[in-house]
């Protein structure tokens, strides 16, 4: 089962909190109605556009039939605790037939900030038996303090349904279940959380980093008779490589642990014309928000990575991915971001996130540069 990270633009900002009660992020849940045995597990991914505008994608699959699924592009507006999203177009469909169809129309949500819950009522276009639908979504979000005292047991509390905690992004090292995890930390630690509430292959993995305060010094002072020896920072190595290195002298300060590197952020609404590097209009809100963030944080540097699917010739896909990354970089530069703060790369069709063919592999990602 392939899972994916998705943060929204604000999630990339490793320093600095999200806007109060922001609805951006990944929501996991289901569409189901009382008295109807059918159900449709779903994942809603939302990012902020201009003003109160929101964009994103809605993934749904038929309950018990994960091979029958759809992805819609969504857009809408928020007013207070209410969110309205409209189906814009179908991006991907699997397992369909001439007699099957997916309902589309408008979904109006009510947001519960205490539970991080979206309750939605859909009004569909009258096609076949499409009329209305009921949605319930939850998202994982840290509800306790993001910083705890070093070496002191603390309760980490999150929202979500049937939450599972892991020590690794591959989800091979479970450490806890439930909304509260009591633990003792001695350094900044990232946990990776999932929800068991109607899971799908698209269910998000949410990384949550907990900082520590008051950690005891890990370096020893230099002997009075000898000056300290400066040790240059060392790039991260694998455990096997690090074990083979000579230990520094007692007088040398240890290099601080840089912590886990942030995962790249996929920009789901940054779309291009088919087979070209020309941005579609719906890419503007996300890129404008990203440009505003870069202007507000002059120390932030980004790598823009272009990707394609595996349809076509690898050589041409490589060139196309580079051109699309360059197009995004050019947009940001035109919006007032210095070129020296950006790096554009292309990976062609070498790094798909989904089994081919899948339109979502034609993506642009951004990640923070050191």
* 173-183 pLDDT tens trace: 999 999 999 99
Lowest mean pLDDT among 14-23, 33-42, 170-179, 231-240: 231-240
Question: 282, 289, 358: which is closest to 75 by C-alpha?
Answer: 282
167, 170, 245 from 240: Cα distances, Å = 20, 20, 9
pLDDT digits (tens, 9 = 90+) for 165-219: 999 888 999 999 999 999 999 999 999 999 999 999 889 888 899 999 986 554 4
Q: Looking at the structure, do residues 200 and 269 belong to the same domain, yes or no?
A: no
Q: Looking at the structure, do residues 26 and 126 belong to the same domain, yes or no?
A: yes
Say if residues 365 and 298 touch (Cβ distance below 8 Å). no
Q: Looking at the structure, do residues 134 and 151 belong to the same domain, yes or no?
A: no
Q: Is residue 14 part of a domain?
A: no
- Provide the pLDDT for residue 147: 94
Confidence of residue 251 (pLDDT cuts 50, 70, 90): very low
Q: Looking at the structure, do residues 131 and 168 belong to the same domain, yes or no?
A: no
- Provide the pLDDT for residue 316: 87
pLDDT digits (tens, 9 = 90+) for 126-164: 988 899 999 999 999 999 999 999 999 999 999 999 999
Q: Looking at the structure, do residues 283 and 309 belong to the same domain, yes or no?
A: yes
CATH code of residue 47? 2.40.128.120
Q: Looking at the structure, do residues 99 and 68 belong to the same domain, yes or no?
A: yes
Q: Looking at the structure, do residues 62 and 171 belong to the same domain, yes or no?
A: no
- Provide the pLDDT for residue 240: 35
Q: Is the pLDDT of residue 19 over 80?
A: no
Q: Is residue 105 part of a domain?
A: yes
Q: Is residue 15 part of a domain?
A: no
Q: Is residue 258 part of a domain?
A: no
Q: Looking at the structure, do residues 105 and 43 belong to the same domain, yes or no?
A: yes
Question: 370, 368, 365: which is closest to 345 by C-alpha?
Answer: 365
Q: Looking at the structure, do residues 116 and 171 belong to the same domain, yes or no?
A: no
Confidence of residue 262 (pLDDT cuts 50, 70, 90): low
Supply the mean pLDDT for the chain. 81
Q: Is the pLDDT of residue 232 over 50?
A: no
- Provide the pLDDT for residue 296: 87
118, 119, 194, 227, 262 from 27: Cα distances, Å = 8, 11, 11, 55, 20
> 3-state SS of the chain?
CCCECCCCHHHHCCCCCCCCCCCCEEEEEEEECCCCCCEEEEEEEEEECCCCEEEEEEEEEECCEEEEEEEEEEEEEEECCEEEEEEEEEEEEECCCCCCCCCCEEEEEEEECCCCEEEEEEEECCCCCCCEEEEEEECCCECCCCEEECCCEEEEEECCCCEEEECCCCCCCEEEECCEEEEECCCCEEEEEEECCCCCCCCECEEEEEEEECCCCCCCCCCCCCCCCCCCCCCCCCHHHHHCCCCCCCCCCCCCCCCCCCCCEECCCCCECCCCCCECHHHHHHHHHHHHHHHHCCCCCEEEEECCCCCCCHHHHHHHHHHHHHHHHHHHHHCCCCHHHEEEEECCCCCCCCCCCCHHHCCEEEEECC
Q: Is the pLDDT of residue 28 over 60?
A: yes
How many angstroms separate the CA atoms of 369 and 228, rounded?
31
- Using the 3D structure, point to which of 119, 138, 157 is the last residue of a domain: 138
Q: Is residue 349 part of a domain?
A: yes
- Using the 3D structure, point to which of 115, 138, 161 is the last residue of a domain: 138
Q: Which residue has the higher pLDDT, 262 or 185?
A: 185
Q: Looking at the structure, do residues 279 and 322 belong to the same domain, yes or no?
A: yes
Most confident range (mean pLDDT) of 185-194, 240-249, 287-296, 318-327 is: 185-194
- Using the 3D structure, point to which of 88, 103, 138 is the last residue of a domain: 138
CATH code of residue 206? 2.60.40
- Provide the pLDDT for residue 215: 63
CA within 13 Å, CB half, 227: 3
Question: What value does the mean pLDDT take over residues 269-292?
Answer: 84
Residue range(s) defining the domain that contains residue 36: 21-138
Confidence of residue 352 (pLDDT cuts 50, 70, 90): confident
Q: Is residue 118 part of a domain?
A: yes
pLDDT digits (tens, 9 = 90+) for 326-345: 899 889 988 899 888 998 88
Say if residues 279 and 269 touch (Cβ distance below 8 Å). no
Burial class of 354 by CB neighbour count within 10 A (0 to 12, 13 to 18, 19+)? middle
Confidence of residue 14 (pLDDT cuts 50, 70, 90): very low
Q: Looking at the structure, do residues 117 and 162 belong to the same domain, yes or no?
A: no
- Provide the pLDDT for residue 25: 86
Lowest mean pLDDT among 103-112, 220-229, 275-284: 220-229
Q: Is residue 305 part of a domain?
A: yes
* Overall domain count for the chain: 3
Q: Is the pLDDT of residue 258 over 60?
A: no
CATH code of residue 345? 3.30.1330.60
Q: Is residue 181 part of a domain?
A: yes
Q: Looking at the structure, do residues 169 and 111 belong to the same domain, yes or no?
A: no
């Amino acid at each position: 089962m392939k899972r994916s990270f998705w943060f929204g633009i604000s999630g990339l900002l490793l320093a600095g909190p999200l806007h109060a009660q922001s609805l951006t992020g990944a929501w996991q849940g289901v569409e189901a109605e009382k008295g109807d045995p059918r159900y449709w597990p779903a994942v809603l991914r939302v990012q902020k556009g201009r003003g109160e505008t929101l964009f994103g994608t809605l993934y749904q699959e038929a309950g018990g039939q994960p091979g029958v699924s759809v992805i819609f592009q969504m857009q809408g507006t928020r007013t207070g605790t209410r969110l309205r999203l409209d189906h814009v177009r179908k991006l991907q469909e699997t397992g369909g037939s001439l007699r099957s169809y997916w309902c589309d129309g408008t979904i109006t949500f009510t947001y519960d900030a205490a539970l991080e819950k979206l309750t939605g009522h859909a009004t569909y276009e009258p096609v076949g038996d499409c009329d209305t639908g009921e949605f319930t979504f939850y998202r994982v979000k840290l509800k306790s303090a993001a910083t705890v005292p070093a070496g002191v047991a603390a309760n980490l509390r999150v929202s979500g349904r049937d939450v599972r905690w892991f020590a690794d992004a591959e989800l091979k090292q479970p450490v806890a279940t439930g909304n509260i995890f009591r633990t003792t930390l001695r350094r900044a630690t990232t946990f990776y959380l999932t929800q068991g509430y109607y899971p799908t292959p698209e269910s998000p993995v949410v990384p949550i980093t907990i900082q520590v305060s008051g950690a005891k010094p890990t370096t020893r002072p230099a002997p009075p008779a000898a000056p300290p020896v400066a040790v240059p920072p060392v790039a991260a190595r694998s455990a096997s490589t690090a074990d083979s290195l000579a230990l520094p002298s007692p007088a040398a300060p240890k290099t601080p642990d840089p912590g886990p590197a942030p995962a790249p952020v996929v920009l789901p609404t940054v779309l291009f014309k088919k087979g070209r590097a020309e941005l579609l209009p719906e890419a503007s809100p996300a890129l404008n928000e990203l440009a505003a963030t870069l202007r507000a944080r002059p120390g932030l540097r980004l790598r823009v990575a272009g990707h394609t699917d595996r349809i076509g010739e690898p050589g041409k896909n490589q060139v196309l991915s580079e051109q699309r990354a360059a197009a995004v970089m050019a947009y940001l530069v035109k919006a007032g971001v210095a070129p020296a703060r950006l790096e554009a790369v292309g990976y062609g069709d070498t790094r798909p996130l989904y089994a081919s063919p899948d339109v979502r592999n034609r993506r642009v990602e951004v990640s923070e540069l050191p």
